[in-house]
Chain A
Amino acid sequence: MISEIDTYAGLSSPIHRWDPRLKVISILALIFSIMLLYDLKLVIASMLFAIILVYISRIPFSFIAGRLKWVFLFVLPFLIILPFTVIGEGVVIAHFGSITLNFRGIESVEFAVMIVIKALTSVMLIFPMIGTSRMDITIKALEDLHLPNKLVQMLAFTYRYIFVLSNEFMLMERSLTSRGFKRGSNLYTITTLSKAIATLFVMSYEQAERVFYAMRSKGYSGKVTTMHEFTLRPQDWLCTVVVCGFAIFIQVAVWYGTLEGT
């Protein structure tokens, strides 16, 4: 179900050694900057930059490709639909009531490709951002970034529950399968899965109680505690300048391009 995104947090690379606080802020800024782009060349350049970051991070591409495959399948419909729906003049292909399908030419295909590449790039950047630090350290970094304490605690709770609950559900599914259950487009499937989900909720509630009491018994005081202490070094700032610099560069390039176009 949900794989451990920090599987390769134990590797050693400049991205791994980068201060998690600056890393999260810088890469989020880069993703934000990429999402504002509407220029295919710059989007492709951003994707290449993301690939370089992944390469430096030493996270295996096969691990990332496994995740990107599902994201690609998720965004694939946009690649098919967008060339026929982008607003503008085009060749009318079909009418569905008051909705008209037009093919808007190669520009609309480029637009669709750009949307898909942006989505894939933003997901790819997640790996150097949080795949290079243990999740508890990332959460601690968020607290250091002055995110509301309650929110940070709930992030920590939720992160734990997700794995506990997905394990519970997989066990339930295995148990159903061993008794001959097969998913199908029928009422029986819906009823069976509904019962399984209700059971999952009850089990998860009990699990949540146990986790909570366990945390309290271990001295949980409402503060995120790890053995990790953050210290900023010149290398951290260098990485930040490079990544934020690229984020600013692509926006300047857009601005410059707009100026040239006028």
Chain B
Amino acid sequence: MTQYVNVKPMIYAALFAALTAIGAFIRIPLPLSPVPITLQVFFVLLAGLVLGARWGGTSMVVYVMLGVIGLPVFSGGSSGLGILLGPTGGYIIGFVAGAFVTGLIYNKVNDSKTATICAMIGGLAVIYLLGVMQLSFVANMTLQQAVAVGILPFLIGDAIKIVAALIVADRIRPLLAVS
């Protein structure tokens, strides 16, 4: 029985890791942006909201590890330690911190929609921060250039993801709680 209780959150964490992997392949074109959105960040934020800081972060560690050992789960079907240490690797590392921070803020604040959105903005900010820092360092760019290339084109898409994650999280949380 004890093992059953311990294994359940592991299953959910694995599930979110798998969904994040698949999210890299689901591209949705946007009316106001030249950059189509993928759903990785959506599942990262959702993992933080639904699983909490510890298991949300763990699910992203699993996702990153699968990519590092070679499964093509990163954006563009890429994988490997090289991608993690490359220009865009900061965003991938940021997924772990992003899910953790989203879960952490969400657990600290009340269950209102505003608080949930704040938690996701916090998580997203961490992803951007780590992403831009690594982009700037590895690609030898100034921080301004890294922000222009690595944040601005994705703002509209990520705002939509936050709204979508808010709606989906509301619906799936009872499902997980009942089980």
CB within 8 Å of B: which residues of A? Answer: 1-3, 5, 24, 28, 31-32, 34-35, 67, 70-71, 73-75, 78, 81-82, 85-87, 96, 98-99, 111, 115, 118-119, 121-123, 125-127, 129-131, 138, 142, 150-151, 153-155, 157-159, 161-162, 165-166, 169, 183-187, 189-190, 193-194, 197-198, 200-202, 204-205, 208-209, 212, 222
Which residues of the other chain, A, contact B86 by a CB distance below 8 angstroms?
A: 35, 75, 115, 118-119, 122
A-B contact pairs, 19 of them (CB 8 A): A31-B82, A32-B85, A34-B82, A70-B72, A70-B76, A71-B76, A71-B78, A81-B149, A121-B82, A123-B78, A125-B80, A138-B69, A142-B69, A154-B10, A162-B21, A185-B29, A194-B168, A205-B176, A222-B3
Contacting chain A: which of B12-20, B90-98, B106-114? B12-20
CB-CB contacts of B137-160 with A at 8 A, as 1s and 0s? 011111011001100000000001
With beta carbons under 8 angstroms apart, the residue of B7, B11, B61, B78 that contacts A151 is B61
Which residues of the other chain, A, contact B18 by a CB distance below 8 angstroms?
A: 157-158, 161-162, 165, 204
With beta carbons under 8 angstroms apart, the residue of B13, B26, B70, B140 that contacts A169 is B26
Shortest CB-to-CB span from B6 to chain A, Å, is 8
Question: Once the chains are docked, how many angstroms separate the CA of A125 from the CA of B78?
Answer: 12
Contact A32 B26 (CB under 8 A): no
Q: Would you call the interface of chain A mostly helix, strand, loop, or mixed?
A: helix
Contact B29 A212 (CB under 8 A): no
Complex: chain A residue closest to B87, CB-CB: A78
Question: Once the chains are docked, how many angstroms separate the CA of A83 from the CA of B95?
Answer: 28
Question: Once the chains are docked, how many angstroms separate the CA of A166 from the CA of B160?
Answer: 23
Known: A126-B79, A155-B62, A155-B65. A1 touches B87 (CB 8 A): no
Shortest CB-to-CB span from A166 to chain B, Å, is 5
Complex: chain A residue closest to B18, CB-CB: A161
Contact B144 A98 (CB under 8 A): yes
Shortest CB-to-CB span from A252 to chain B, Å, is 20
Which residues of the other chain, A, contact B141 by a CB distance below 8 angstroms?
A: 82, 85-87
Which residues of the other chain, A, contact B83 by a CB distance below 8 angstroms?
A: 119, 122-123
Known: A35-B82, A119-B83, A183-B29. A74 touches B138 (CB 8 A): no
Most buried by B among A70, A130, A161: A161
CB within 8 Å of A: which residues of B? Answer: 3, 7, 10-15, 17-19, 21-22, 25-26, 28-31, 39, 42, 58-59, 61-63, 65-66, 68-73, 75-83, 85-87, 138-142, 144-145, 148-149, 160, 164, 167-168, 171-172, 175-176, 179
Shortest CB-to-CB span from A141 to chain B, Å, is 10
With beta carbons under 8 angstroms apart, the residue of A73, A85, A121, A189 that contacts B76 is A73
Which residues of the other chain, B, contact A208 by a CB distance below 8 angstroms?
A: 11-12, 14-15
Question: Once the chains are docked, how many angstroms separate the CA of A204 from the CA of B22?
Answer: 12
Contact A198 B15 (CB under 8 A): no
Cβ-closest 5 pairs across A and B: A122-B82, A74-B76, A157-B14, A161-B18, A126-B70
Which residues of the other chain, B, contact A187 by a CB distance below 8 angstroms?
A: 31
Complex: chain B residue closest to A127, CB-CB: B70
Which residues of the other chain, B, contact A200 by a CB distance below 8 angstroms?
A: 19
Question: Once the chains are docked, how many angstroms separate the CA of A43 from the CA of B150?
Answer: 25
Shortest CB-to-CB span from A211 to chain B, Å, is 8
Which residues of the other chain, B, contact A183 by a CB distance below 8 angstroms?
A: 28-29
Question: Once the chains are docked, how many angstroms separate the CA of A73 from the CA of B25?
Answer: 14
Contact B76 A162 (CB under 8 A): no
Question: Once the chains are docked, how many angstroms separate the CA of A81 from the CA of B76?
Answer: 18
Contact B69 A154 (CB under 8 A): no
